[in-house]
A = this chain, B = another copy of it.
C-alpha cells in the first residue's frame, strides 16, 4: 500500500532556506585577530544565492560539477557549504594539511573545476595547483596577491575575486529540486596508507546526519546555543556543525586560522560559545594555557571531543576545574562522520557515569554496529568480546568514489569495516581499544596501545604519551612508550613504569622508553604512529630499556 504522503526530497537547500528565514537573526562569526566578521544567517542565505549566480555566470558551473574549497573555518566557507550543494553542484572540501602532491591528486581524482581559496592560503595552494589538471577557475577570498597561483598554473586558470564574483548578483536563487541520493559534497580520507579515498555524501545523508547531530542524544543544538566549530571545515564536514547550526538556529563561531590556545581563549571570552568541538590536542593546549592565564570561559557548558580518544585526565580536568563537560564523539569521514556520542545513560552518576564518558559513546538509531572476529564472523554485543567494529546506515558510505565494487579490505557484506578494534555493549556503547593496525601482538595476546597511553597521560608530569608496538625476538611485539614531559616537570622511566603498574597488568608494562619533544601528528592532529615506528626502526630515538619485571 503506497502512502499518501508528499514526495519532498531531503536536500541541502532546505537547510539553507530554513536557517536563512526561520533563524535569520542567528549569527555566523569569524575570528580575525581584530574585529570579528559577523553575518546573520539571513545574510549568509543572500550571499549563498550571490555566490551560486557568480559561479554559474563566471565559472560556468552547471550540473554536478565539483567546486572545491581550500579554506579555513570562516563565513565565506560557510556560504560555499550551502551555495554549492544547493545549486546542484558538488562541494569538495580540500584538506589544506595534506602534502601538495596529495592535494593535487585529490583535486584531479574528484575532477574539481573551481577552487575557492583564502587569501592567507594562496602560497600553500600555489604548491599544488600546477599539478591540478581539471581546475579552470580560482576564486580568491580576501585581498591577497594571486600571482603565485598564476605563476604555478599559467593561463590554464582564471582568477576571480570573491567580492567581484558576488557583486551585483541577485540575492535570491531558485534552488533546484534534486534527487536526494545525488552527491552534495565530497571529502577524502587523509589516507595514512596509499592514496586518499573519496566519500561522496548525498543530500539525503547530509540531511539525516544533520538531524542526528541536533538531537539531545547528539550534540543537542538549539537556538539559544552558540557553537564554536574548531574542527576544520575541510575535515569530515566539520562534524556536521555548519549544517546543524543552520537547521537548529544555533549561532556558529569560527576561528579562521587562529588555532593556537591564546586566540581560542580570547575568542571564547569574547564570543561566549555554549558548545564547542575540536580534537583533543586543541583542548589539551587550551587547558595548559588556562593554567597560566586568567580567561573567562564560563559560557561553555559542553565541549565535544573527537578525531581521537580524549585522555580521561583531560576530561576530568575540564569538569573539575572549569565545570565543563567533555563529551566524546566518535566517527569517521566514511560516516559523515557521526558514529557515537558518549552521554551516560539515565541513572548513571559519579564514577559509573565517568566510565560511560570514557567510552566512544552510544550509537544513534541511524547507525547499526557489530563486532566481528578475524574472519568476519559476528561476535556477541556483550560488552566484553573484542573484535573489529563494523557499521552501516544511511549516512555511512558503501564504497569510495570511483570504485565500481566496494574494496574488500574496507567493506564486508554491506558493512563498513572501521579498522577499529573494541567492544560493543548490549545497550549500544562502543569502547574502542585500538586501531586494528596499532594493537600490539605480544606472545599471542593483544595489548592495547591506547590504554597504555591513557594510563601514562594520567601521570601529572606527562603531557603526551604515544605507545607503539615494536619488533621483539621473544614476544614478536612489545610496547615502546614515547613520552613528552610537561614543561617544568621531570620524571624517569622507572617512576612511570611503577605508576603504570597500579592500573596495568604486569606483562603489559613497556620495557622500552623514549623521552621526546613532541609526538608526531597526522594532518588532522592524530598521533602518527607510523612515523614513531619508523623513527624507532631508523634508530632516531634515544631508547632506554628497563629489564622486565
A residues within 8 Å of B by Cβ?
1-8, 10, 14-15, 18, 21-26, 64, 90, 181-184, 198-202, 204-205, 208, 211-212, 214-217, 220-224, 247-249, 343, 345-346, 362-365, 381, 392-401, 403, 414, 416, 426-428
Contacts and interface: CB of A to CB of B under 8 A. Distances in A.
A208 B247 CA distance: 14
A341 to B, nearest CB: 11
Contact of A398 (B4, B392, B428): B4
Given A222-B217, A363-B22, A427-B25, A183 B1 contact: yes
B398 A24 contact: no
A392 B345 CA distance: 36
A198 B5 CA distance: 11
A486 B365 CA distance: 48
A6 B183 CA distance: 12
Contact of A346 (B2, B184, B249): B249
A68 to B, nearest CB: 14
B396 A18 contact: no
A6 B249 contact: no
A380 to B, nearest CB: 13
Contacts of A345: 25, 223, 249
The 8 residue pairs across chains A and B that have the minimum distance between CB atoms: A3-B202, A22-B428, A216-B222, A18-B365, A1-B183, A1-B64, A8-B394, A6-B398
Contacts of A365: 14-15, 18, 22, 247
Contacts of A23: 427
A402 to B, nearest CB: 9
Contacts of A21: 381, 426-428
Nearest to A427: B22
A365 to B, nearest CB: 4
Q: Is the interface of A mostly helix, strand, loop or mixed?
A: loop
A414 to B, nearest CB: 7
23 contacts: A1-B90, A2-B181, A3-B182, A4-B183, A4-B200, A4-B399, A5-B201, A5-B205, A6-B397, A6-B414, A15-B365, A18-B364, A21-B426, A22-B428, A23-B427, A24-B427, A25-B345, A25-B427, A26-B346, A211-B212, A216-B220, A216-B221, A217-B223
Contacts of A2: 181-183, 200
Contacts of A217: 214, 222-223, 248-249
A174 to B, nearest CB: 14
A392 B181 contact: no
A386 to B, nearest CB: 20
Contacts of A343: 223
A526 to B, nearest CB: 23
A484 to B, nearest CB: 38
Given A22-B363, A216-B248, 16 more contacts: A3-B182, A3-B200, A4-B200, A5-B204, A5-B205, A5-B397, A7-B181, A18-B364, A21-B427, A22-B362, A25-B427, A26-B346, A214-B217, A216-B216, A217-B248, A247-B365
Nearest to A202: B3
A165 to B, nearest CB: 23
A397 B8 CA distance: 11
